Structures are given as structure tokens and as C-alpha cells.
Structure 1
Amino acid sequence: MTETDILLRCYAVQGLVAEAGRIALDYFSRKESLGVTMKGTQDWLTVADGIVETYLRTRLAELFPDDTLIGEEGGGDASDAVWIIDPIDGTANFARGDRNWCISIGFLHERVPTIGIIAAPALDELYVARRGHGATLNGQRIAVSGNDDIRRAYVELGWSARTPAQRYLDVMGRAYAAGCSVKRSGSGALGLCHVANGRTDAYAEPHINAWDVAAGLVIVAEAGGWANDFFAGDGISTGNPILCCTPALAPQLRDITGIG
């Protein structure tokens, strides 16, 4: 695949994400239309999740028929050219009227995160990154915070029902003991974006799925951040822990989180 092929995909998907954002916002503004159900403990699902993913699947298949696709709702298969989609990341926020949710689309070429596009339409934010070409927020270049003092670190810790609660609490305790300020906002994809634009210094979660981070990993890397090798082993199909941060804090945060 040539650099022109990658660039074409990056531009095309920005258009698709804009339309997907309009679809999602329409549902978000009409709470009675959401048809909220639960897939598991604190694992929310709305009608909009399926509608947005179906739209993106259909359009991507039309534009790039040789690529494969993995989506949170519809699954799929990996290949040397695969799109990994979360139609609405932060569904609990979405269902409750909280604006902190997004549409996340990542593209892996030969297992390397290559394109990352994350749209947060309720916040009017669009993050775009292409491997080797930097990361932007609404067209402006972004960079990680550069903080090198753990006692000033602002860290987001994601939570998952797939891992023991005590593990999460232990990490939180070690973070507080080291002097960190800790938050949780309910969207892993936006959590990575906030590391990339310096709003936080780190994002960590003991287990997260590929569709939550495939786009964000490109954005963080292109903004100068550090991340563990999420796609090691079978991360693409079963998920892995995630830690991404401003680079100077990586050694201490690896000790605090046990990730990386």
C-alpha cells in the first residue's frame, strides 16, 4: 500500500465521520429514541451504536472493498488492511446526556496503527492523525504535555468490569500515593486524545478492547506520546492493558500501573 493510498483513506474517512457524527447527534438530542439496553454490567448499548456502525461499515466497504473491518457491535476479521471502529465510545455518557462521547476509527496497515480519526461531535472536536505526519485537533497541531514531575501528574484511570475491582483500586491508591491527581471520564478513546493534547498526562486501563484504542494510539504517538505495545499477542481480537502518557513519566507510571 502506497503513501497515496493511506492519504486517500485518511481524507475519505474524515468525510464519513462527519456524517456519522450528524447521525449520532440526532439520536443524542432525542433521548426517547435511544432504545437503551445493557450488554452486561455497566456495558451500555443504544440504537445509535448499531445505526452508526452499519453506516460506516457500508460506506467503507463501498470505498475500500479489499479492506476488512472490525466493529464493536458487528465483530469482523483482521487483515493486513483493517479498519477498527467504535461507533460510539462512551455509550453510558451518550445515553445519559453527557457530551463526553465519540466516534473512533483506526486503520492498521500490516498490524501497525496508521490512521486515527476520532470525532466528538457534541464537543465540536475532531482529532486526526496519520503515521509520520503529526496529530491535529480541529486542524491545529497538538502535543503531549511534556510534564516530568509525577507530583504534578493528572492521570485518567479507565475502569472495566472485565478485571477485578481491587486491581483498579490498588492502582488508584499507588497513583495517589505518588502524588498524582486521578480522574475518570468514561471514554477510553477520548482519554487517549486528552493525553495527546496535553489535557491529561496519562491514560491507563487494566483491560480495554482494540476498538477503544486503535485510533487513539496513532493520535498519541503522533503527538509525541509513549504507549505500551497494545497490539502484542492477540490484542487485536481480545484486548490488552493500555498505558499511554507523556514520555518522561513512563517509567514511574509503568511501576504504578503494572502495565508496559
Structure 2
Amino acid sequence: MSSPSPALAYRLEAARGVVQDAARLAMSMRPAPGGPEGKQKSAQDWLTEADGAVENFIAQRMKTLFPDDGFQGEEGGVARAGSLRWVVDPIDGTSNYARGRNRWCVSLGLLEGDEPVAGVIEAPALGEVYTALRGQGAFLNGKRIQASPVTDPASAMIEMGWSNRVPKPIFMEKIDAIMDLGAMPRSGGSGALALADVACGRLDGYIEIVINLWDVAAALPLLAEAGACVSPFLREGGLTGPATILAANPHIARALSSAVGISLD
């Protein structure tokens, strides 16, 4: 294991504190269980007051701590450029959050140029914090994690994210392919947490046809450090717009890739 860059290690520790405070803010604003609260941007795509408040909180804290670093948020777009760039999804799983459910998180990733190097994902309603730093492993609540050892697709659990930007026939084609492998399909409503689940072995794979950088930036270092296989999301356009992602444990990754027609190369 390589020695961590002191600058990157310091940034990860600082980010951990900022995300913790941001998660507390999000919890204080979380709607009570019931019908969704917030603005519906499109079918099943929600925006709550907390999305903007949490992003602004993180943006200001990171600007104070690291004024030369770039910053990109889901709600505000690319606000600052820099060779090191923070990418935040203030509430990943907003449809869950808007109904007072627990499966949502605050996600903050760090890119060095085009390479994901660190990430923090906190799911405060679940009591879980994921962290990763390039070359230093991936952790859940301080304990090292790794991808699932499952080798038989018929024993695998695969999640697929839904998006209204994906035509129904394409979505159903991929779901059919997953089921034809004998795998168990799931859908939980948070791309960042689904990818974290692949990293820690709770899932054997995750697929989303259209997903954005802020949804995956913090999870990509987790996946790399946990030994998961990931499709070339950034190379396939994920740095500048939505792209497709497949992440899986290394034992079923090729079979899943072949079945759903998403290349790992």
C-alpha cells in the first residue's frame, strides 16, 4: 500500500468533518414520513429545500478550507475550476428523502485532474459513513470493506437504477438480462449508496444507464479501493455529462457485462 499524499489525506479528513456537519443539517430539514415534500422537476425527480441548503453549506465550507480547489455541485453546476475539484451531491436519493425515508446520503468526491482520488458518503439516517483515499483502502464506519466474493450469478444481487431519461424498452431489456442470469434485481433509489453497497459486498453489481458525475464521484474511489470492477464511466463522457455505469464484484463482472451489453473496457 502506497503512502498517502499528505495534501490528499488532509483533504479527506477535512471533507469528513464537513460532510458530517452537512448531514446533520440535512437531518434537521428532513420531511416527516408521508407524501413527498418539495418540487417535482420531472417524473420521480425531486428537489427539496435541503438540496440547495446542504450544497451551499458544503460549497462555502470547502471554499474557506481550500480556496484554490475547484468545486462542482449538482444544483449549482461548476462553480470553480481547479486541478483538484470537489464534486458534491447534497442529497443523493432525494425521492426517498422527500418522503421521510432513510435511504439517502450526502456525497462528496475529490478529483485530481480526471482521476477520482478520495470520497466521503454519509447516510445519517442509516448511521453509516463511507470513506476512501487512493491507495489507502475503503472503509465503512472505520472498518475496511471489499467487494463481494460471490462467484455464481444465480446467487448474485444486482441493483439497477431507474431514470425517466431511459426509454422503458431499454430498461426492461437490462432487467430481463439480469434475471436471465438468475440474479436478484433490486432498486433502492440512491445511486451513490448502491455503488457503496457494491464496494462493501452488500450488492454484487449496480447498473445505471444515465447517471451524472455528482452521483458517482465519491463512490468511484470506494469501488477502486474495494476491488470492484467498474466500466469506464469518466472516459465514456461522465466528466462532462451523463453516462452509463456498471460496477460489480470481480467474480461476476464479466458475466454481467456480457449479459447487459455494457463494456468494462
Which of the five TM-score ranges fits, normalised by the shorter chain? over 0.9
Match of 1:222 among 206, 225, 229: 225
Inter-partner Cα distance in structure 2 for 1:235 and 1:78? 17
**Pick aligned residue for 1:118 from 98, 111, 121:** 121
Q: Are 1:166 and 2:169 counterparts?
A: yes
TM-score in terms of structure 2 length? 0.94
For 1:203 and 1:14, the matched residues in 2 are separated by 25
Secondary structure of 1:234 counterpart: helix
Deviations 1:199-224 (A, max 9, x none): 11001011100000011111111111
**One-letter amino acid of the counterpart of residue 216, structure 2:** V
Match of 2:19, as an amino acid? V
Of residues 209, 212, 231 in structure 2, which corresponds to 1:209?
212
Deviations 1:94-123 (A, max 9, x none): 011110000001100021010011000000
**Residue of structure 2 aligned with 1:132, choices 130, 135, 143:** 135
Q: Please report how far the alpha carbon of residue 257 of structure 1 lies from its aligned counterpart in structure 2 after TM superposition.
A: 2.0
Aligned partner of 1:186 among 184, 189, 193? 189
- Equivalent positions of 1:38-57 (< 5 A) are 38-57=40-59
RMSD: 1.5
- Equivalent residue for 1:58? 60
Match of 1:248, SS state, is coil
Q: Indicate if the aligned counterparts of 2:32 and 2:100 stay in contact, CA closer than 8 A.
A: no
Runs of 4+ aligned residues of structure 1 deviating over 2 Å after TM superposition are 29-32, 77-80
Instruction: Tell me which residue corresponds to 1:258.
Output: 261
Amino acid at match of 2:191: G
Partner of 1:145: 148
Identity of aligned residues (%): 42
For the residues of structure 1 that align with 2:148 and 2:207, how far apart are their CA atoms? 16
Q: Tell me the CA shift for residue 165 of structure 1.
A: 1.4
SS in 2 for 1:99: coil
Is the contact between residue 31 and residue 97 of structure 2 (CA under 8 Å) also seen in structure 1? Answer: no
Whole-angstrom CA distance in 1 between matches of 2:17 and 2:219: 18
Q: Within 2, Cα distance between the matches of 1:240 and 1:181? A: 24
Amino acid at match of 1:185: G
* Structure 1 counterpart of 2:90: 87
Q: Distance in 2 between matches of 1:95 and 1:190?
A: 17
The size of the alignment, in residue pairs, is 258
**CA distance in 1: counterparts of 2:204 and 2:156, whole angstroms:** 6
CA distance in 2: counterparts of 1:140 and 1:234, whole angstroms: 33
Are 1:104 and 2:107 counterparts?
Answer: yes
CA distance in 1, matches of 2:193, 2:260: 19
Deviation at 1:29, TM superposition (A): 5.3
For 2:81 and 2:148, the matched residues in 1 are separated by 33
Deviation at 1:133, TM superposition (A): 0.4
Q: 2:235 aligns with which of 232, 235, 253?
A: 232
Q: Deviations over 1:205-255 (max 9, x none)?
A: 111000000111111111111101111143112121000010111111111
5+ long unaligned stretches in structure 2: none
SS across alignment from 1:54: helix
Further displaced range: 168-177 or 232-241 = 232-241
Structure 1 distance, partners of 2:113, 2:213, is 15
CA-CA distance at 1:162 after TM superposition = 1.2
TM value normalised by structure 1: 0.96
2:74 to 50, 60, 72: 72
Structure 1 residues without counterparts, runs of 5 or longer? none
Q: Is the 8 A contact 2:31 2:99 kept in 1?
A: no
Is 1:5 paired with 2:7? yes
Q: Is the Cα–Cα contact under 8 Å of residues 204 and 257 in structure 1 kept in the other structure?
A: no
Deviation at 1:79, TM superposition (A): 4.0
Q: Is the 8 A contact 2:104 2:123 kept in 1?
A: yes
Please give the secondary structure, in 1, of the residue aligned with 2:234: coil
CA contact (8 A) 1:142 1:197 kept: yes
